[in-house]
Amino acid sequence: MRTQIGIVGAGPAGLMLSLLLRRAGIHSIVLEDRSREYIENRVRAGLIEQWVHDLLIEIGAGERLLQQGLFHDGIYFSARGRLHHINFRALVGKGVTIYEQKEVVKDLAAKLIEEGGEIVFEVSDVSLDQVTTARPLIRFRHRGEARELVCDFIGGCDGFHGICRPGIPTEYLTVYERGYPFGWLGILSESPPPASELIYAHHEHGFALFSMRSPTLARLYLQCAPDEDLALWPDEKIWDELRTRLGGSCELPQGRIMLKGVTPMRSFVVEPMQYGRLFLAGDAAHIQPPTGAKGMNLAFADVVFLSRALGEFYRTGSTVALEGYSQTCLDRVWKAQRFSWYMTQLLHRFPHETAFDRRRQLTEIEYTAGSKAAATALAENYAGLPLD
Ligand code: RFL
Ligand code: PHB
């Protein structure tokens, strides 16, 4: 097998990269170790930034997004029993869209396949070779047969647990990492969300997030232990705790819980994001706590930069943009890391915090809600910094 760009992973990053490359007239093949059904039903992120919404429409994958997406002007904070609205549209002229990652993945995969793009599902034993030469190679097995994909470049879009990043010699990489002493217990419930936009709630018992998938489907999260035992959380206890953490700032409709899970939290960045002809993108290179809703958005920013750099290479032979790929991405990645950490430290309870820390958090929330300058800084980060 031969292609210009071999892409490992058919998550948001890999699928979008392949579509953007097609637009630049560059051939690629995507290798994915799971089935199409699996990647299209994996429950993950919910929120996309304004520019991602616009990009999905621009590439012709926005039809269902326009029908089903929930367009929000801002978010609420809940603190001391009061809701505070931050109106991004009024502050920075941008909004955000609730449209589930699995729907984005469905739309991207359908578009790619419709255009004649190639995704090989259910590959196994994927390994990279010769990545520091002009002819990198991806070895894998498919339907029991050993195969080789010869390419000019490799897109490492295989997520945090993939094989691309671990294949880079450790002495070449600097890893920046930070753990958090908590996770999120998330549920999906057949009930309307408590407000028409997301509520980020500060409470003595810990953080809670009130998100949604549709006007009749709520996605709700509670700060919990990183290794929380779900058996200790019968449905009634979850509802009681959600209601408590909303602190009476509004009513919480209750419904049948369809799904329960625990998500750990981590901040992680690897530098550089490239090695020879291997370019990492998305979760393969960086992870952030979900409090800032940045993961999928950042994965898309990486592949926009990568597709532009590859486009320049094939058009002009110049490797300047490719050489600068990592730096271009990391600029944005670190701003998203900072923002995700900021939202996380603002809202969660920490093991060794003091009463001073709690008062400082509350003051910061109320100051942000009441100051146009502070609210604007939050709005421009949350709704998405400009790409260029
Ligand atoms: P993905 O989605 O993990 O895709 C990687 C793909 O690679 C495949 N793969 C392999 N394929 C071939 N060979 C191998 N050896 C392979 N190893 C792995 C995998 O099967 C998979 O298909 O990474 P990508 O594309 O970089 O996308 C990143 C996003 O998935 C992630 O950042 C977001 O889900 C994070 N996130 C959020 N991001 C947002 O932008 N907005 C949000 O509101 C948001 N909320 C969230 C989130 C993540 C969460 N969890 C579950 C971690 C909320 C939660 C709870
Ligand atoms: C979600 O809807 O899953 C979601 C929204 C915003 C976040 C995290 C998760 O910050």
Structure tokens at 382: 């949350």
Q: Which residue shows structure tokens 């939050």? A: 378
Ligand 2 mutation target, pool 221, 294, 298, most atoms within 8 A of CB: 221
Q: Is the pLDDT of residue 45 over 90?
A: no
Are the C-beta atoms of residues 58 and 70 closer than 8 Å to each other? no
Q: For residue 282, what pLDDT band results from cuts at 50, 70 and 90?
A: very high
Q: Does residue 49 line the site of ligand 1, with CB under 6 A?
A: no
How many helices (H) and strands (E) the chain has is answered by 12, 20
Q: What radius of gyration, in Å, describes the C-alpha atoms of the chain?
A: 21
Q: Does residue 295 line the site of ligand 1, with CB under 6 A?
A: yes
Mean of pLDDT over the chain: 97
More confident residue, 194 or 44: 194
Peptide bond preceding 289 in cis form (omega within 30 of 0): no
Longest CA–CA span in the chain (Å) reads: 62
CA of 43: how far to CAs of 39, 153, 192, 255, 292, in Å? 9, 30, 19, 19, 18
Are the C-beta atoms of residues 198 and 75 closer than 8 Å to each other? yes
Ligand 1 mutation target, pool 101, 210, 211, most atoms within 8 A of CB: 101
Q: How far is the CA of 202 from the centre of ligand 2 (A)?
A: 15
Helix (H, G, I), strand (E, B) or coil at 34: coil
CA distance 59 to 128: 30
Nearest atom (ligand 1) to Cα of 221: 55
Residue-level pLDDT at 40: 97
Residue-level pLDDT at 340: 98
In the chain the domains, ranked by start, together with CATH numbers, are: 5-72+94-176+267-343 (3.50.50.60), 181-264+350-383 (3.30.9.10)
Q: Which residue shows structure tokens 């801002």? A: 74
Structure confidence by residue, pLDDT tens digits, 185-217: 999 999 999 999 999 999 999 999 999 999 999
Residue-level pLDDT at 15: 98
Q: For residue 44, what pLDDT band results from cuts at 50, 70 and 90?
A: confident
Model confidence pTM above 0.75:
yes
Residue-level pLDDT at 388: 87
Are the C-beta atoms of residues 44 and 102 closer than 8 Å to each other? yes
Long-range contacts, stretch 331-336, CB < 8 angstroms, 24+ apart: 332/298, 332/301, 332/385, 332/387, 333/269, 333/285, 333/286, 333/298, 333/302, 334/269, 335/381, 335/385, 336/286, 336/288, 336/292, 336/294, 336/297, 336/298
Structure confidence by residue, pLDDT tens digits, 313-337: 999 999 999 999 999 999 999 999 9
Helix residue spans in the chain (DSSP H): 12-23, 36-39, 50-58, 63-68, 88-92, 101-114, 235-246, 295-316, 320-323, 325-347, 355-370, 372-382
Q: Is 169 exposed, middle or buried (0-12, 13-18, 19+ CB in 10 A)?
A: exposed
Active-site annotation, residues = 72, 200, 290, 294, 382
Q: Does residue 291 line the site of ligand 2, with CB under 6 A?
A: yes
Mean pLDDT to the nearest integer, 116-139? 98
CA of 343: how far to CAs of 134, 241, 289, 340, in Å? 43, 21, 9, 5
Residue-level pLDDT at 43: 87
CA of 231: how far to CAs of 185, 235, 240, in Å? 12, 10, 16
CA distance 307 to 302: 9
